[in-house]
């Protein structure tokens, strides 16, 4: 390996390279410590023993492939890279984490930690190139941004996120509100010189419009699928129906699948799930035991399976010259 090889940094110091044989939860949450006085309750995930056990089940399900997870919590509203590093080392699952910002309601009193573009940019670039505030030896794998359906031209955090992505080449990982307004967002970002292949839209499947999603995929955007694959979600008709339409259009390499498990209930083993709750994913192992199993039933070919379950996200998120303090995973 040399310094120009693209890699994905993880919170435990190890790195993951494109082409690795793995199963990657592309929208994971492995630790959330809710801040006090948040305008809206942030779900809590901080039972370390339960989280380690859930990730160990994921590692066993993924074997002989490597299990990995992109933790999508932002700084200041529940992310703790040091806790993620402990969990990763105990479970054997490679965990990557993000810098950036979330929706205002996720922060104490709705106030983000940054009031100027400069202060936000300093944080984002430092975490991408130097290390996390709470885990200085580990680097961020991308920049999270939050889109509520309407572009805020004067939002300093958005301006900083765009500048950080331009400066470092990092992937822009965008929270959306069930995909509302995503075509306008992509056009807005294009005007600001953000390449479409550097945009990853979480909850894009919440939009439920295969035509819009196909247009965005054709333009180069990576689409995040999560809620529409849950049997109990009730979104977009039958589970997997929307994904099937995109697969029929040849867009397997434009979709990344994650589980977005933010509740302790969703991390519990199947035999501990409340009977009245209906069928739900039981921890990140469901990426293999439920999602991959269903995709195989649908006849998805091996190369497309790999793309949907981690390879496409890994190829886009990996960057050169971020691995000097790490070891290969």
Could you write out the DSSP letters of every residue in 32-71? B-PPTTBSSPPP-B--HHHHHHHHHHHHHHHTTSEEEEEE
- HSE of 235, CA atoms in CB hemisphere, 13 A: 19
Q: Which pLDDT score, from 0 to 100, does residue 310 have?
A: 97
Q: In what order do the strands lie in the sheet with 8-9?
A: 8-9, 14-16, 327-328
Does 41 fall in a domain? Answer: yes
Does 14 fall in a domain? Answer: no
Strand bridging mode 8-9 / 14-16: antiparallel
Taking 90 as the threshold, does the pLDDT of residue 85 lie above it? yes
pTM, two decimals, is 0.94
> In this predicted model, what pLDDT tens digit does every residue of 287-309 receive, in sequence order?
999 999 999 999 999 999 999 99
Taking 70 as the threshold, does the pLDDT of residue 140 lie above it? yes
Beta bridge partners of 124: none
Does 3 fall in a domain? Answer: no
Q: Which pLDDT score, from 0 to 100, does residue 231 have?
A: 63
Q: Which pLDDT score, from 0 to 100, does residue 274 have?
A: 61
> In this predicted model, what pLDDT tens digit does every residue of 224-246 receive, in sequence order?
999 888 765 444 457 899 999 99
Q: How many domains does the chain have?
A: 1
Does 13 fall in a domain? Answer: no
Confidence of residue 160 (pLDDT cuts 50, 70, 90): very high
Nearest CA to 70 out of 111, 35, 39, 100 is that of 100
Does 4 fall in a domain? Answer: no
Strand bridging mode 94-97 / 66-71: parallel
Domain residues for 167? 20-328
CATH code at position 257: 3.20.20.140
């Amino acid at each position: 390996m040399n310094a120009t090889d693209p890699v994905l940094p993880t919170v435990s110091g190890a790195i993951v390279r494109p082409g690795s044989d793995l199963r990657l939860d592309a929208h994971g949450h492995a630790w959330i410590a809710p801040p006090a006085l948040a305008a809206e309750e942030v779900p809590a995930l901080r039972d370390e023993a339960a989280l380690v056990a859930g990730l160990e089940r994921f590692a066993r399900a993924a074997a002989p492939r490597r299990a990995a997870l992109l933790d999508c919590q932002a700084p200041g509203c529940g992310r703790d890279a040091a806790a993620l590093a402990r969990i990763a080392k105990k479970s054997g699952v490679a965990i990557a984490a993000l810098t950036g910002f979330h929706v205002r309601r996720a922060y104490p009193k709705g106030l983000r930690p940054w009031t100027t573009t400069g202060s936000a940019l300093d944080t984002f670039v430092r975490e991408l190139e130097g290390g996390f505030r709470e885990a200085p030896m580990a680097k961020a794998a991308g920049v999270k941004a939050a889109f509520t359906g309407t572009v805020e031209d004067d939002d300093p955090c958005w301006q900083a996120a765009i500048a950080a992505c331009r400066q470092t080449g990092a992937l822009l990982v965008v929270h959306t509100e069930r995909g509302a307004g995503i075509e306008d967002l992509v056009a807005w970002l294009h005007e600001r010189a953000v390449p479409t292949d550097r945009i990853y839209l979480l909850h894009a499947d919440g939009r439920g419009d295969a035509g819009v999603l196909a247009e965005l995929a054709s333009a180069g955007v990576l689409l995040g699928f999560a809620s529409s694959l849950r049997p109990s979600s009730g979104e977009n008709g039958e589970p997997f129906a929307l994904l099937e339409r995109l697969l029929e259009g040849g867009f397997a390499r434009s979709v990344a699948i994650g589980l977005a498990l933010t509740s302790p209930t969703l991390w519990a083993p199947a035999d501990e799930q409340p009977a009245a709750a209906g069928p739900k994913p039981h921890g990140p192992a469901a990426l293999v035991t439920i999602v991959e199993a269903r995709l195989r039933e649908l006849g998805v070919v091996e190369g497309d399976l790999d793309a949907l379950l981690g390879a496409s996200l890994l190829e886009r998120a990996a960057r050169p010259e971020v691995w000097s303090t790490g070891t290969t995973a």
